[in-house]
Structures are given as C-alpha cells and as structure tokens.
C-alpha cells in the first residue's frame, strides 16, 4: 500500500514540475481578457444592418413610389391567332381564329392621356385597353410604334386630368444610382421594386444597335412597358427586357433610356414616324486585339473603317482611321455608346465628334443626314441614287445597289447584276428612294418579293422570289 501511495505522490510532483517549467520557459505571454462594455469597432462589416438602416444614409423611395404608381397603367392586348382547324369548325362554319390576351405595363406621360409602352406589348393588337391604378378601364388607341427601339405610343380619353411622370435626362443617370421599377408583373398590379443602375449602353443584340440601361431591380413578364424612375420619381427608362434562361427574373433587367423613348414618341406625334439622323460611318469598337491589328495604342473608342459616300461625316471631313472618343462631350467606349446618343437625334441635327487622328485630338461638327441606305432582303445594301447614277442606266427613277448580299452575290453577277445597278420597282411599286422600298415591303399583302431592276447591259429584268 505504501509503495502505491509513493508512486502516486511521485507522479503528481513530476506533473507539477513539468507544468511549471512549461509555464515559465515555453508558454508565450497572453493578454488578460477583462469583461467590459462592448466597444464600437472602427470599421463596419458588410452585413451590419444598422449601417444601411441609418435614417440619414438610407434612400427614401416612398414619395417616388407613390407618385409613379399612379402614373403606371396595366395594358391589356387582345390578339387574334389562327388555331388548328378542326372538323367541328368545318361543319359548324366557325372561324378557327381564337382570341388571346396579353398584358404589360405603360407609363402616362401627360395629363391628356398619352401613354408610352413597348412595341412588343401591343404588337398585333385587335383590341387594346388600359386600367389605371384607381381601377378605371379605358379603350386605348394606338398612335404609333417603332419596332427598332421597341417603343409604342397609346392614347386614352379620360374624363379627368391624369397623373403623369416627367422625363429625366438619362444621359445624366449614373452607374450605382438607385432606381425603382414600377409595373404589373404576373398581373400583380402596382408593383414596385428597387435596385441600382448596373450598366449603361448595354447591347443585347450583338449588332451595336441597342443601348439599354441595365439594372438589378426585379423585372418580370408583365413589367414590359413600365417605368424605371430615379429617387425623385422622374422617368429614367422604359422597362423592356430581362436576361434569363427561365423566363423570369434572375438578376438582370434592361430599360430603353428615357432620352431615346422621348425622342421616339415626339417623332411619332409630330411626323407620324421616327426620324433617324445618320452619321455616315462604318467601323467597330476598339479593344486590345483590334488596337494591335490596326496599330494604335487606344483600347477605347470607335474606330472608323469607312466613311459613307455623301454622308454628313464625309462632308464634315471625317476620315477612315479616325477614332471617335467623344460625341457631344459624352465619352465613347463602345459602339453602343455612339448609337445610343445618335438614337436621340434627328436629321439636320449637329453633333460634335471628338476624334483622334494621327495621335492628335480634334473636334469635328457633323450635320446628321437622313437615312439614304437600306438593306434589301436577298439583294444587299442599296442607297438613294444620284441623277448621274440614273443617267448612266437611262433610268427615270430608282435606287442604286452599293453592296450585294454575300450569300447571293454569285447568283446576281451571273445574271449581270453588280454594284451600281438600279432597282426601279419593288412589289409593283415605283421606287424613287429607300423610303419607298420600306413602304412597299410594309404594305405588301404577300410574302413574295418582286424586284424590277436594270442590269449592266441597260436591260430591265424582273425577279420573283417566294
């Protein structure tokens, strides 16, 4: 028993000496922790809710939402679609057309009842109606539409002055600025969501023809044609599209800038159609690969590859190889920056281009011209003909082919049709300008294309395409 007690004692003493030696010679000194009142850190973590909810810093959307909700309407579009023809339809003599209902949103822009919406909201409409936020419903008249910008203008006759939204200058909208999206997603009327402007001059087509404002405010089917407003309740854009694989919102939405929308509806009201001012250049946006290819150091701007004959750019002295850096003091980084600004202009408007030429910066005022070119299906690019062009082919009217469609160029050349030949008639309509071509195609009741032109031998030929 004594031996056991002795071993226990020796073990205990050994442990004490070992622990003491570790504490004295090996263990690093640790600070003493004293319980106290929590100290406010010098920094705020990103998930600190109190930092965002500070009354002085948090944006107030209430007034903007209240004003905008009353000026955003629910648009209903009844279209007639041809369903499958059944035996029952045959025996009963019924028409196979069926009525389909589509819905979207719109924005009242003045007290008289003019409303902006998207062209795709009212496309192929048989009947149009508009329901206000006070649940009053009116029959709507389509004043005009522009498929290119996806903007349409409606009119309702109300028995009172209507609340409306005023336009903001979308050029002054800043990336990171708070915005509200107001509309009727999934038929849920008067819905308001908030987000920020994520990007500007966004092109979804890959053709540099579009210039959307991108936002992360939630937008879903039914929001189309609704308002994107700033915190003051001013119209920044018309909600138009979402980027999604599911058909519903996944974080990205796009709006037509208010400056473009306003210009389109003003043209429709004054002229009946959209007046496009043409700069007259062809080229592409710069990047590292393009810059290295053409031997320049700039990676931002629009490189001019060619200047169109008789255009405003040519008359102003713009040259191939120039790099557009600014237009009207707006920085140009990509082609959609340029097209977005030009979409707010009309023929005879003057724009100031800041270009880089041989390493030197210069400003060139350019008077925009009317559109004198058009891409004709199957044929290629055509433009209004000069009197000398017509005289060469002994033609009294027509438009000149400037570039053949690459897919059918060999076919045309085999038949004696080359660049410079004159097209005199489209679908039996006499052609004097590219505007006549567009009207002939738009007013045709057939999908067939009938072209009359003069070949290189001065002979008139007709081609029928179905």
Measured CA to CA, the distance from residue 46 to residue 48 in angstroms comes to 6
The beta strands (E) that lie in 140-190 are given as 141-146, 151-155, 178-183
Spatial distance between the Cα atoms of 117 and 108, rounded to a whole number of angstroms: 9
Q: Do the beta carbons of residue 458 and residue 441 sit within 8 Å?
A: no
Nearest CA to 362 out of 318, 320, 332 is that of 318
* Tokens representing residue 307 in the block: 């200047």
Cα(55)–Cα(387) distance, integer angstroms = 70
120 included as an active-site residue: yes
- 3-state class of 332 per DSSP? coil
Residue tagged active-site, from 74, 146, 150, 203: 150
Catalytic, out of 74, 105, 120, 203: 120
- Is 168 within 8 Å of 299 (Cβ atoms)? no
For residue 220, the SS3 value is coil
* 142 within 8 A of 93, measured Cβ to Cβ: no
Q: Give the DSSP H or E segment for 213.
A: strand 212-215
Of 302, 296, 290, the closest CA to residue 340 belongs to 302
Strands 97-108 and 72-82: antiparallel
Residue 107 CA to residue 226 CA, distance in Å, equals 6
Contact criterion met (CB below 8 Å) for 217 and 226: no
Structural contact between residues 451 and 425, judged by C-beta atoms closer than 8 angstroms = yes
User: For residue 450, what are the β-bridge partners?
Assistant: 464
Active-site residue (options: 224, 253, 258, 336): 224
Can you name the residues that pair with 143 across neighbouring β-strands? Answer: none
- Which residues are annotated as catalytic? 120, 150, 224
């Amino acid at each position: 028993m004594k031996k056991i007690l002795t071993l226990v004692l020796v073990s205990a003493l050994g442990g004490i000496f070992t622990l003491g030696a570790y504490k004295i010679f090996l263990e690093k000194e640790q600070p003493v922790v004293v319980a106290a009142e929590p100290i406010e850190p010098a920094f705020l973590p990103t998930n600190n809710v109190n930092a965002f909810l500070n009354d002085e810093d948090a944006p107030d959307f209430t007034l903007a939402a209240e004003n905008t909700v009353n000026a955003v309407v629910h648009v209903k579009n009844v279209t007639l679609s041809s369903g499958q023809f059944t035996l029952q339809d045959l025996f009963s003599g019924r028409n196979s057309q069926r009525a389909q209902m589509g819905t979207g949103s719109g924005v009242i822009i003045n007290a008289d009842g003019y409303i902006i919406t998207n062209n795709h909201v009212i496309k192929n409409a048989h009947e149009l109606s508009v329901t206000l936020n006070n649940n009053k419903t009116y029959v709507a008249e389509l004043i005009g539409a522009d498929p290119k910008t996806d903007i349409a203008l409606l009119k309702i006759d109300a028995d009172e002055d209507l609340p409306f939204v005023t336009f903001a200058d979308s050029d002054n909208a800043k990336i990171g600025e708070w915005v509200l999206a107001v509309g009727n997603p999934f038929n849920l009327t008067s819905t308001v969501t908030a987000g920020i402007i994520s990007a500007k001059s966004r092109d979804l087509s890959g053709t540099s023809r579009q210039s959307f404002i991108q936002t992360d405010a939630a937008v879903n089917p039914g929001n189309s044609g609704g308002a994107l407003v700033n915190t003051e309740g001013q119209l920044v854009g018309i909600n138009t599209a979402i980027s999604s694989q599911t058909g519903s919102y996944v974080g990205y939405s796009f709006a037509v800038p208010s400056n473009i929308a306003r210009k389109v509806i003003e043209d429709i009201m004054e002229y009946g159609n959209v007046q496009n001012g043409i700069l007259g250049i062809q080229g592409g946006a710069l990047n590292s690969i393009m810059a290295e290819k053409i031997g320049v150091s700039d990676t931002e701007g629009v490189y001019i590859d060619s200047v169109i004959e008789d255009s405003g750019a040519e008359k102003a002295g713009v040259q191939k190889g120039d790099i557009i850096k600014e237009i009207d003091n707006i920085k140009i980084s990509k082609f959609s920056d340029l097209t977005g600004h030009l979409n707010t202009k009309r023929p005879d408007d003057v724009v100031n281009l800041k270009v880089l030429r041989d390493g030197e910066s210069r400003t060139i005022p350019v008077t925009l011209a009317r559109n004198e070119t058009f891409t004709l299906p199957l044929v290629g690019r055509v433009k209004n003909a000069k009197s000398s062009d017509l005289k060469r082919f002994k033609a009294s009217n027509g438009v000149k082919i400037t570039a053949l469609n690459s897919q059918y160029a060999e076919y045309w050349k085999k038949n004696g049709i080359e660049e410079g030949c004159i097209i005199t008639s489209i679908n039996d309509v006499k052609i004097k300008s590219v505007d006549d071509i567009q009207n002939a195609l738009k007013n045709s009741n057939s999908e067939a294309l009938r072209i009359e032109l003069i070949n290189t031998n001065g002979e008139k030929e007709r081609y029928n395409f179905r």
